[in-house]
Amino acid sequence: NAGVTQTPKFQVLKTGQSMTLQCAQDMNHEYMSWYRQDPGMGLRLIHYSVGAGITDQGEVPNGYNVSRSTTEDFPLRLLSAAPSQTSVYFCASSWPRGSPQETQYFGPGTRLLVL
Amino acid sequence: KQEVTQIPAALSVPEGENLVLNCSFTDSAIYNLQWFRQDPGKGLTSLLLIQSSQREQTSGRLNASLDKSSGRSTLYIAASQPGDSATYLCAVYNNNDMRFGAGTRLTVKP
What pLDDT does A8 receive?
Answer: 97
Question: What distance separates the 2 farthest-apart alpha carbons in chain A?
Answer: 42
pLDDT digits (tens, 9 = 90+) for B24-76: 999 999 989 999 999 988 889 999 999 999 999 999 999 999 999 999 999 99
Give the closest of B32, B43, B102 to A42, CB-based.
B102
Strand B32-38 vs strand B86-94: parallel, antiparallel, or unpaired? antiparallel
CA nearest to B95 within chain A:
A98
Question: How would DSSP label each residue in A6-58?
Answer: EE-SEEEE-TT--EEEEEEESS--SEEEEEEE-TTS-EEEEEEEEETTEEEE-
Alpha carbon of A21 to those of A48, A75, B9: distances in Å? Answer: 14, 6, 30
Summarize the confidence of residues A84-96 as an average pLDDT: 94
Q: How many CA atoms lie within 13 A of B46 on its CB side?
A: 20
Mutate to test the interface with A, among B24, B25, B44 (most CBs of A within 10 A): B44
Give the other-Cβ count within 10 Å of B70's Cβ.
10
Question: Residue A111: is its pLDDT beyond 80?
Answer: yes
What pLDDT does A1 receive?
Answer: 76
pLDDT digits (tens, 9 = 90+) for B68-80: 999 999 999 999 9
CA nearest to A89 within chain B:
B43
Name residues 3-42 of chain B within 8 A of A (Cβ).
Answer: 4, 31-32, 34, 36, 41-42
pLDDT digits (tens, 9 = 90+) for B71-104: 999 999 999 999 999 999 999 998 888 999 999 9
Quote the distance between the C-alpha of residue B7 and its chain's center.
Answer: 10
User: What φ, ψ does residue A83 adopt, rounded to 5°?
Assistant: -55, -30
